[in-house]
């Protein structure tokens, strides 16, 4: 919402200082004090603002105060107005870059981010990119395996995955990348251990995400020997044989991609959004995705980790999986994604019957 503050200027403000000579009736000299022992807190955090006290009243510079409160200040010279524009609501995601496509002229870069959200981000000269120590970076520093958190939007294309403009990106680390076959999976006192091939052991904990290449969460218990995965880990490794390293993201590769997956019209996709909203409305206070912007996708029955709750749903799930049928998933981002992952409702493609929710972390 845009808020405006109308400023009534003195003659000096309108005509300039020299033109105000003799306009004493419109100009009054005041004495103020910078009160440096007074702290200004914004959202509970200390700010660098220092108030000026004039006649017992505290004053703050409008531009500095507006910035701290999340507004931008614009001055309308024609109408002599100051406009306070509220910052747009941006979406946020953390994860690892799994693909990068840069235009030859360097005008923009398209990155695919997989983590708390599966999203395609457009990075251009308007995007602010920084390291955690505040160093300014460029799109050239964004590589496959780079761990980031990003703010994007406020608009997002209603595609799957969603696509949006990256506003700012914080680079956390460059992870090593390895694609191989799982040789062993073990549950330990500290979490999980996955051996990739003969040359690497990965240690996973609460901070590790395990998912498909389309952002669907996968349970550690569902990782099987012989499965192909792509790991984003490290980058440091122990000097043991085989070496060990902490894993940040483990992506399970599709074992049998759907051939001839049916297409879905926009009208049908919207129908699924409406059906899904009826199932998630009790959690609406946590959902950050707008009702009509939820991601809708057709997936094969071996690509979901759905939890059916009723006997009827369990039977339907078993029947669809036995027939190698398809599901429709409707995914929502929530304010709990960092802890639990996205909220995904699952439906039978043929009957539109609700099957359950995909398992969250």
% of the chain surpassing 70 pLDDT: 79
pLDDT for the residue numbered 8? 43
On whether both 132 and 165 belong to a single domain, the answer is yes
Query: Please, which pLDDT band fits residue 210 given cuts at 50, 70 and 90?
Result: very high
pLDDT for the residue numbered 44? 64
pLDDT (average), residues 146-152 = 96
pLDDT (average), residues 134-155 = 94
Residue 9 has pLDDT above 60, yes or no: no
On whether both 73 and 37 belong to a single domain, the answer is yes
On whether both 100 and 118 belong to a single domain, the answer is yes
Query: Please, which pLDDT band fits residue 361 given cuts at 50, 70 and 90?
Result: low
On whether both 147 and 95 belong to a single domain, the answer is yes
Residue 246 has pLDDT above 50, yes or no: yes
Residue 255 has pLDDT above 70, yes or no: no
On whether both 106 and 47 belong to a single domain, the answer is no
325-338 pLDDT, tens digit each: 888 999 898 888 77
On whether both 246 and 180 belong to a single domain, the answer is yes
> First-to-last CA distance in the chain?
36
Domain of 243, in residue numbers: 176-252
On whether both 354 and 270 belong to a single domain, the answer is yes
On whether both 137 and 211 belong to a single domain, the answer is no
Residue 20 has pLDDT above 50, yes or no: no
pLDDT for the residue numbered 119? 92
Is residue 6 situated within a structural domain? Answer: no
pTM for the model stands at: 0.53
Residue 22 has pLDDT above 60, yes or no: no
Residue 12 has pLDDT above 50, yes or no: no
Which of 256 and 207 is assigned the larger pLDDT? 207
On whether both 113 and 141 belong to a single domain, the answer is yes
pLDDT (average), residues 38-49 = 69
Looking at every residue in the chain, the average pLDDT score rounds to 82
Is residue 82 situated within a structural domain? Answer: yes
pLDDT for the residue numbered 321? 84
Q: Which of 221, 252, 283 is the last residue of a domain?
A: 252
pLDDT for the residue numbered 39? 72
Distance separating alpha carbons of residues 303 and 315, to the nearest angstrom = 18
- Locate 5 and state its tokens: 């503050």
pLDDT for the residue numbered 359? 81
Is residue 102 situated within a structural domain? Answer: yes
On whether both 197 and 161 belong to a single domain, the answer is no
Is residue 306 situated within a structural domain? Answer: yes
pLDDT for the residue numbered 162? 83
Q: Which of 174, 202, 224 is the last residue of a domain?
A: 174
285-333 pLDDT, tens digit each: 899 988 888 888 888 777 678 888 899 999 998 888 888 788 899 989 8
74-133 pLDDT, tens digit each: 766 777 676 766 666 789 999 999 999 988 777 889 999 999 889 999 999 999 999 999
Region of poorest pLDDT, from 22-36, 121-135, 180-194: 22-36
Q: Indicate which CATH number applies to the domain containing 126.
A: 2.40.50.140
On whether both 160 and 123 belong to a single domain, the answer is yes
Look at the chain and report how many structural domains it folds into.
Answer: 4
Is residue 23 situated within a structural domain? Answer: no
pLDDT for the residue numbered 2? 42
Is residue 289 situated within a structural domain? Answer: yes
pLDDT for the residue numbered 254? 67
Query: Cα 281–284–289 angle (5° rounding)?
Result: 115
Q: Which of 123, 140, 174 is the last residue of a domain?
A: 174
pLDDT for the residue numbered 14? 41
On whether both 281 and 351 belong to a single domain, the answer is yes
Is residue 18 situated within a structural domain? Answer: no
Is residue 20 situated within a structural domain? Answer: no
% of the chain surpassing 90 pLDDT: 41
334-351 pLDDT, tens digit each: 888 777 788 999 999 889
Query: Please, which pLDDT band fits residue 25 given cuts at 50, 70 and 90?
Result: low
Distance separating alpha carbons of residues 281 and 43, to the nearest angstrom = 29
């Amino acid at each position: 919402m845009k808020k405006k503050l109308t400023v009534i200027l003195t003659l000096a403000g309108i005509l300039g200082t020299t033109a105000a000579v003799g306009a004493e009736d419109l100009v009054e000299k005041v004495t103020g004090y910078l009160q440096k022992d007074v702290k200004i807190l914004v959202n509970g955090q200390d700010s660098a603002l220092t108030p000026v006290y004039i006649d017992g009243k505290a004053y703050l510079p409008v531009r500095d105060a507006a910035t701290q409160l999340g507004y931008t200040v614009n001055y309308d010279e024609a109408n002599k107005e100051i406009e306070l524009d509220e910052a747009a609501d941006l979406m946020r995601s953390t994860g690892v870059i799994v693909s990068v496509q840069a235009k030859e002229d360097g005008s923009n870069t398209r990155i695919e981010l997989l983590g708390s959200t599966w999203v395609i981000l457009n990075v251009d000269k308007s995007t602010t990119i920084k390291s955690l120590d505040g160093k300014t970076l460029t799109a050239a520093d964004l590589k496959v395996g780079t761990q980031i958190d990003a703010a994007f939007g406020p608009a997002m294309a209603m595609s799957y995955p969603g696509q949006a403009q990256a506003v700012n990106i914080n680079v956390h680390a460059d992870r090593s990348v390895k694609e191989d076959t799982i040789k062993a999976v073990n549950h330990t006192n500290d979490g999980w251990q996955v051996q990739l091939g003969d040359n690497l052991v990965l240690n996973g904990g609460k901070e590790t995400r395990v998912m498909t290449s389309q952002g669907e969460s996968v349970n550690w218990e569902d990782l099987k020997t012989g499965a192909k995965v792509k790991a984003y880990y490290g980058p440091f490794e122990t000097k043991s044989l085989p070496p060990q390293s902490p894993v940040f993201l483990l992506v399970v590769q599709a074992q049998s991609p759907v051939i001839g997956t049916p297409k879905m019209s926009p009208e049908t996709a919207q129908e699924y959004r409406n059906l899904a909203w009826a199932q998630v409305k009790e959690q609406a206070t946590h959902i950050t995705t707008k009702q009509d912007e939820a991601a809708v996708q057709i997936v094969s029955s071996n690509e979901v980790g759905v939890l059916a709750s009723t006997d009827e749903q369990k039977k339907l799930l078993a029947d669809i999986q036995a027939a190698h049928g398809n599901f429709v998933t409707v995914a929502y981002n929530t304010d709990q994604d960092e802890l639990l992952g996205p909220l995904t409702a699952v439906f039978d493609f043929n009957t539109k019957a609700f099957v359950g929710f995909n398992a969250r972390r």
